[in-house]
Chain A
């Protein structure tokens, strides 16, 4: 209340002196920026469409088709971000024969901006993953694998900040616990760190230090579990500063993204698009530039 009065006085007192665009935006039509987030997860080396063998997914998927769809979106939308939530490798002979080289090459051709690491990305060993990194012109982001003393040490980043229009988007990755899921010798000295702790730490850094306007987590934790195990839902509930979780691992075809409240009651959106590149995930995100407690176009974030 006091603050509002102060602001009104300020406006009157300063007059035309501070009649800036931001002030205009605050009183008139707000400035809204649209960001188009394209995403995949668990593509599992599905380079070609599913074979025409009478199976449920026959003819669907395929990298060349997906690439055309991505290009079509880029032709229309100015602010596109293309990401993957892990398990790029394993599932077709392309991986067995060529060890992931083609997967990385094609994602680079398609203009992926970032990916994270899934458990199956260790299937050719940590050396095998490291060997394919020269074929990737996009970063693999992972906040909770400590790769010190492994061949991946210098080849990954914790996060990356992207700028689209005037929006700063912080993207980071989280991986699943490897013990029990991946044979020890494949992941070597990789240390798994608590994804909730690391996720909150990085998200906070992205908001406060990197001044990000939007924080996206690429997660290979899995959407949800019956047992007591960290998942995207658990992460969302215990998070602060994460806006969107692009998930993977559980191969969940979500009819619509789920909106959950984080520990300070702010909405977090989770989405995941099954597996095998059967779906190109797309979220159109609208960001309104306005005063901290004022938003004209804000919905209650029930994603349609």
Chain B
């Protein structure tokens, strides 16, 4: 009797063990339904809006100031574009106001221009913030011919970056060819002064090849420089406009 009871207790023990181990429920990921919604105009959360209000008021005042006029919408695209060309030329102008030695050309990384087009109409301080939200500083580097060619090839590999006028090249199969500065071939016996964002000079966008070059700092935020440049152009009676001029050509086989 005792023996039988002991046997039964063993059985119960293993049954419970079995239930715990083998029958322990799990949560199956049974089904997933997507119902994302676009954030269209509609009812707003007033508490959140009230939190924003004081910040918004402070910004609006600063951002709404009109500093120039763009007569024809400028788009940003590769290998060159009106907006990219305008930006590149603006960098040269601002570098030459802060540096005693003129620069040979300027480069802006493609991804650093944060709007796809600058719409025709008034150019406000806020427009320039949209264009250049990053707190990037303008830097001047002196490159030797090897570094210069490497840099241009790096741009060519990704389809072309905004550059200033004066420098021209063609892209064939992701490689740069016929690189000219003011119509002259790149020479090995001189340095080339290039203005560019510190982001790139410090190795951003995989530009690690001149990271250790000595940098001439300007202390000028590119955004502030652009705002100043637009104001000065407006004072001169100029509009904010640029066109494609073939500084970067794409050669299709």
Contacts and interface: CB of A to CB of B under 8 A. Distances in A.
A271 B52 contact: no
Classify chain B's interface size: 35 or more
A78 interface: no
Contacts of B44: 62, 64-65, 67-68
Interface stretch (A104-112, A139-147, A150-158, A190-198): A104-112
Given A68-B44, A295-B30, A96 B135 contact: yes
Contacts of A184: 202-203
B42 A65 contact: yes
Nearest to A303: B32
Contacts of A181: 204-205
A152 B37 CA distance: 34
A124 B134 CA distance: 9
Contact of A180 (B27, B56, B121, B205): B205
The majority secondary structure among interface residues of chain A is mixed
A257 interface: yes
B252 interface: no
A14 B12 contact: yes
B104 to A, nearest CB: 24
Contacts of B40: 59-60, 65
Interface string A179-211: 111111100000000000000000000000000
Contacts of A91: 114, 133
Contacts of B31: 285-286, 297-299, 301
A7 B39 contact: no
Interface in B23-72: 23-49, 51-52, 55-56, 58-59, 62-63
Contacts of B89: none
B243 interface: no
Contacts of B22: 3, 6-7, 292
B11 interface: yes
B39 A60 contact: yes
Given A67-B48, A182-B204, A299 B30 contact: yes
Contacts of B30: 32, 286-288, 295, 297-299
B192 interface: no
Interface of B: 11-12, 15-16, 18-19, 22-49, 51-52, 55-56, 58-59, 62-63, 114, 119, 121, 126, 129-130, 133-135, 198-199, 202-206, 208, 223
14 contacts: A14-B16, A55-B119, A59-B40, A65-B42, A67-B44, A68-B43, A71-B45, A91-B114, A109-B47, A257-B32, A267-B29, A288-B27, A289-B26, A303-B34
